[in-house]
Amino acid sequence: MKKTIFIGILFIFCMSLIGCNTASETANASSSGEQNQKSNEESTSEEKETNSENLIYENTKYGFTFSLPKSWLGYKVVTDQWEGRDINQQETVVESGPILTIRHPKWTEENLLQDIPIMVFTHEQWSSLQKEKFVIGTAPILPSLLGQNDNYVFALPARYNFAFPEGYEEVEDILETTPLQPK
């Protein structure tokens, strides 16, 4: 009888542990791909292992994947907005769109590691930017193309690493591998 009660209690304990783990995984999975549209809110991203060396961030809303080294396990994705301003009236915002920032897991307010910002444009916005119908920032340099799919163009902001924060070399190495793959 005592053995049956012990096994029953052990079973209930194990099931409660599995339930807690499943709830945590569900919370993490629900924030993957579909990014929170509120400015500056962080979300845990979905991390998929593709081989022994890389993690894959998948964004289903905009249709791309981004390959990261294993050292980025636990990264966050911060969603914000870029603003395009009238070339003649800098105070007037004429275009805007999302910028998804992949943040290193060791980033803190005290230890600002280099982020990986990804600007998202419609094809029409990208074309207008290339024709200098609006500007982003004060630098006379356009964002760098990372890739595009049927709906969106993905770009790296001009001078994203101008302050050379800690980790900028690692980000440059990541970007040299063509990590963004449109879907």
pLDDT tens digits for 84-128? 999 888 899 999 999 999 999 999 999 999 999 999 999 999 999
Look at 88 and 44; give whichever has higher pLDDT. 88
Q: Are 40 and 80 in contact (CB under 8 A)?
A: yes
Q: Are 34 and 61 in contact (CB under 8 A)?
A: yes
pLDDT tens digits for 46-79? 555 455 689 999 999 999 999 999 999 999 999 9
Is the pLDDT confidence value at 162 over 80?
yes
Look at 100 and 159; give whichever has higher pLDDT. 100
pLDDT tens digits for 6-22? 444 444 434 443 343 33
- DSSP string across 88-108: S-TT-EEEEEEEEEEE-TT--
C-alpha closest to that of 97 among 137, 126, 70: 126
- The answer, as to whether pTM is greater than 0.85, is no
pLDDT at 138: 81
Mean pLDDT in the chain? 80
Provide the 3-class DSSP secondary structure of residue 169. helix
Return the C-alpha torsion angle 36, 42, 46, 50, nearest 10: 130
Return the C-alpha torsion angle 118, 146, 125, 116, nearest 10: 10
Q: How far apart are CA 59 and CA 46, in angstroms?
A: 9
